[in-house]
Homo-oligomer: A and B are copies of this chain.
């Protein structure tokens, strides 16, 4: 089980450490909320999860990585949707095909996402890392569009637009109370993009 494919809803089972990575993420985010990100140590995270530091480092290279544990799954789900989009779909429709399944996996992570967003906003190095992850996601989606026969330019323009739609909707979603609003916020943001570029 890699850190990228944590499933918060259905903990994976192993003989000795059921969902160790998920427990570590949960313990970390709880401690970050209680004591602040900067002052929380890996030893404290492991202890809170009832695990050892050694186990922590089996899943994450450092404390920071815990905050980005979901990005592998996000990308995987998004790329599957890109590959599965109807053959006749236009480039933005294909690039944005990842939004609905991504909204679905995020619904149950609303509390986590809000705490995480606050930590990242307060830390320039984490903000940079977040931007790079989003740019890498855009590059992967663009590669998926090129695989479907779109030109590199069209693929980059469409993928970047779709990731910006995601980013704008995400920022609005963590700020409000209804976890299920993510899908609607994405639809609104996509509609806004279309009117921005048409106007």
Contact = CB atoms under 8 A, between A and B. Distances in A.
A104 interface: no
Given A92-B196, A128-B132, A153-B192, 14 more contacts: A90-B199, A91-B196, A91-B199, A128-B128, A153-B172, A154-B192, A154-B196, A156-B164, A157-B165, A157-B192, A157-B196, A160-B160, A160-B161, A161-B164
A135 interface: yes
Interface residues of A, number: 28
Interface string A156-194: 111011001101100010000000000000000100111
A43 to B, nearest CB: 30
Contact of A197 (B128, B156, B168, B198): B198
26 contacts: A92-B197, A128-B128, A131-B131, A131-B132, A131-B135, A135-B135, A153-B168, A153-B172, A153-B189, A153-B192, A156-B168, A157-B165, A157-B193, A158-B196, A160-B161, A160-B164, A161-B161, A161-B164, A161-B193, A161-B196, A161-B197, A193-B197, A194-B197, A194-B198, A197-B197, A198-B198
A143 B186 CA distance: 22
A137 to B, nearest CB: 12
Q: How many of these chains are in the complex?
A: 2
A73 B158 CA distance: 28
Contacts of A160: 160-161, 164
A79 to B, nearest CB: 19
Contacts of A196: 90-92, 154, 157-158, 161
Contacts of A198: 194, 197-198
A186 to B, nearest CB: 12
A44 to B, nearest CB: 30
